[in-house]
Amino acid sequence: MVLLVTIAAQRYMVDVGFGRNGPTLPLLLENNAQEDAIAPGARVRLVRESLPQSLHPTDNSQKMWIYQHRGPSNKTHHHHPSVAGLEGEEERMEERENWIPTYAFTELEFFPQDFEVMKFCASRVRTSFFTYTVVVLKYLVEKDEEGRAVCVGTVQMLGGQVKRTVGGKSEVVKECRTEGERVKVLEDVFGIRLSEREKRGIMGTVAELRGVAS
């Protein structure tokens, strides 16, 4: 699910819930609209294209908005001036190849009934990892030189592992082995305080941590 908002006659895509590699700023609903991502040098963008599996790739009515992200490039090019044209083509190819398609959407309006079906699928269908894995994400925010809030990294819980990523570098800061450890991390790191009923809700499910406390 994404939100489409109109500001000063321009439309933007806003996605507040995708998680890691998701946009942290509104993206202009325009082909190849780009913004900075969290990691230094990383970018996100929107392109309007047909999906690879489309039977009618040249039909404009079948094109969708595709959200893509890419990390910073570590490649340095050194070319002789005589192959400047080839250098440009190589950079254009690299530009296309480095972008990772993440999801696609249309401008069709959705209603509460649509979201009920989507929520049921994500929470019940066994092919959805949300049914067997606990996923939590927190953005790390600092002020820049002009006093604006800027995302500088993330802290993510996936199952029992807690990972901190800042400046494109990740480190595991905690491996939870029991539900007690995970509940404590949820409160101390993510600010999520569970009720006793909520703590019991995971018991007996495949997502429950059954290890020995470290």
Q: What is the pTM of this model?
A: 0.73
Distance CA 113, CA 115 (A): 5
Place of tokens 């080839």: 86
Average pLDDT, the chain: 85
Cα–Cα distance between 109 and 18 in angstroms, integer? 19
- Give the helix ranges, DSSP H, for the chain: 84-98, 112-124, 179-188, 196-200
CA angle 97, 38, 64 (to 5 degrees): 50
pLDDT of residue 96: 54
Sign of torsion, CA 53 58 63 69?
A: positive
User: Residue 125: what pLDDT?
Assistant: 87
pLDDT for the residue numbered 86? 38
pLDDT at 148 over 90: no
Quick check: 144 pLDDT over 50?
A: yes
Integer-rounded Cα radius of gyration of the chain: 21
Condensed to tens digits (0 to 9), the pLDDT of residues 27-81 reads 999 999 999 888 667 899 999 999 999 999 899 989 999 999 998 654 433 333 3
| Whether pLDDT at 161 is above 50 | yes
- From CA 214, how far away is CA 126, in angstroms rounded? 30
Backbone CA torsion sign across 184, 190, 193, 197: negative
Q: How far apart are CA 155 and CA 132, in angstroms?
A: 20
